[in-house]
Amino acid sequence: MPLSYLRRLPQSAALALLLAGSPLRAEERPQLVPTRDVDITYDVTRPEKLTIRERVRWSAGERLERVDGPDKSTTIFDRKANEITLLSPANRTYRKLEGAPRQLMESDDGAALKRGGESVVAGLRCVEWSWTEDTQARGLCVTTDGVLLRGVIDGKTVMQALAVRYGRQPAELFQVPPDYAPALAPEGGSGL
């Protein structure tokens, strides 16, 4: 997958990719994908940039995730099909990509996961999990039903839930709008 596609993914989408199937080894593993439909609002702190707000919605039964960023960008992850859909409202186009690249918060295959204490974030209890990769200390606080409430790198919170609302997510949220057309790649390029 071209690097240009990865740069366009919202920060919480990058974290969510981690949660889809992180190959962590430990005696005990946290649930890393929500087990019920949920709508989460996050503050995401990007290196050298301002904090942004992102909204992430999950259809647990269908294993679908929708991430809406501050610039009106939308990314839909289909975990069953291992597919990503990028929606561009500016020109009403979409692009489908196969695969889910390894992202910022995803652990190495050999990383040992350590369970920590419990915390309360956005009014919900979560368990702290940590590991070290290369020279970076990484951590997550995840609810027992798989909702990521906080992501930390080297002691700095890079993502934190502000609000979590459980409830059925409409199927149309995870579909390409009917008035969108496939994005055409420019000659000799990869598009987007």
Domain ranges of the chain: 3-168
Closest by alpha carbon to 38, among 16, 57, 65?
Answer: 57
pLDDT in tens, 120-165: 999 999 999 999 988 889 999 999 999 999 999 999 999 999 999 9
Between CA 117 and CA 112, with CA 66 as vertex, the angle to 5 degrees is 35
Phi/psi at 66 (5° precision): -120, 130
Confidence (pLDDT) at 19: 38
* Cβ(153)–Cβ(44) below 8 Å: no
> What is the side-by-side strand order in the sheet with 93-98?
114-121, 124-133, 136-142, 148-153, 156-166, 38-45, 51-59, 64-68, 74-78, 83-88, 93-98, 181-182
Residue 167, number of CB atoms within 10 A of its CB: 9
The tokens describing 102, both together, are 């390894």
**Architecture (CATH level 2) of domain 3-168:** Clam (2.50)
More confident residue, 183 or 108: 183
How many beta carbons lie within 10 A of that of residue 128, not counting itself?
18
Residue-level pLDDT at 109 = 56
Question: What is the pTM assigned to this prediction?
Answer: 0.79
Confidence category of residue 79, pLDDT binned at 50, 70, 90: confident
Using CA atoms, how far residue 59 sits from 6, 77, 118, 128, 168, in Å, is 23, 10, 26, 24, 7
Higher per-residue pLDDT: 106 or 20: 106
